[in-house]
Structures are given as structure tokens and as C-alpha cells.
Amino acid sequence: MNHSFIRERITELRIKKDVSENKMSLELGHSKSYIQSISSGKSLPSMGEFISICDYLEVTPKDFFDTEINEPQKISRLFCYAKTLSPERLDILIDVAQQFCHSVKT
């Protein structure tokens, strides 16, 4: 894993969230150019800022680094809902997910 991965992943997730670099920078409490400086390779966020960026982008740090997840923001939202389900309803959700996965493969 290198610095370019972090820059590119922030850009990818920011675009999926449909937010500009300037707006994201300001909403994180920084100058308008903060995210642009990360995207351009001039700087990297500190660990604390990285966590704030993940929160802003609605992904966990684990999902940030998992490139096999195409829509990490949506997976994170689904997981938040799933955590609140009873075991019976969670089984139903799993069954539905399995049906979707099988229908995609065939």
C-alpha cells in the first residue's frame, strides 16, 4: 500500500459521495484547499484526520482499504441497519442477499 492509494481512494469515495474537494475540506473544518492538497500528493492526512475523512465519507477504515467493495458507503449503511435486526430478521436479510447473489451469477 502506498501514498497514491490513499489519495486515489479518497478521491474515488469523495466522487461517489458527490461532493467537491472544496466543500469536503470546509465541512471537515479546514481551508478550501485541504482535500486538494491531499489529492495532488502535496500532503497526507494525520491518523486523526484520516478517521475524520472516513467518517465524512461514511466508510469504516477497514472498508476504506478494502478495494473489493464497490460501494463501501452503501455497505456501511446496510451494516448499520443489519446491526439492529433481530436474529430472525437477520436470517431473512441473509436469505434475500443470497437470492440476489445467485440471480446475478446465473
pLDDT at position 3 is: 87
Lowest-confidence pick of 27-36, 43-52, 96-105 = 96-105
CATH of domain 3-105: 1.10.260.40
Grid cell in block for residue 44: 497526507
Please state, in angstroms and rounded to a whole number, the distance separating the CA atoms of residues 48 and 50.
Answer: 5
Domain-wise residue ranges, the chain: 3-105
Q: Give the other-Cβ count within 10 Å of 27's Cβ.
A: 11
Contact 51, 61 (CB under 8 A): yes
pLDDT at position 21 is: 97
43-46's contacts with Cβ under 8 Å and 24+ in sequence apart are 44/3, 44/6, 44/7, 45/6
